[in-house]
Amino acid sequence: MKRFGIPAERVLAAAVRSVDGIATDELIQVPSDEGKRTALRMVLKRKLDASFGNSIHDVAMLELAGQAFAINPNPDLASIAQERRWTIYQPELPR
């Protein structure tokens, strides 16, 4: 994200250890499920306006948001999103 002017401490993402600038197969951080909600709560100073997810592993994060969007969701998330009346978006595939 450095290339886009976003400092590392502002990025919440999976991370791997790197050696001499080369990514290894050693995972350092993998925010998933409840870990996404925990990571967001650690850095947010105010309520999360919107959140976007595509799988059941995003539910905890989507619950934090004022507006939750299920983008091309897997069947588990689609069912939850429908029950909770979250916006479901199925983009058209390019032809």
Q: CB-based contacts of 92: which residues, under 8 Å, 6+ apart?
A: none
Q: Is the entire prediction scored with pTM above 0.85?
A: no
What is the chain's length? 95
CATH fit for domain 2-89, picks 3.40.50.1000, 1.10.260.40, 2.60.40.10, 3.30.750.24: 3.40.50.1000
Helix (H) / strand (E) element for 51: namely: strand 50-53
* Inter-residue contact 1 to 29 (CB < 8 Å): no
Q: CB-based contacts of 78: which residues, under 8 Å, 6+ apart?
A: 70, 88
Q: Over 90: is that where the pLDDT of 54 sits? A: yes
pLDDT digits (tens, 9 = 90+) for 5-17: 878 777 777 778 8
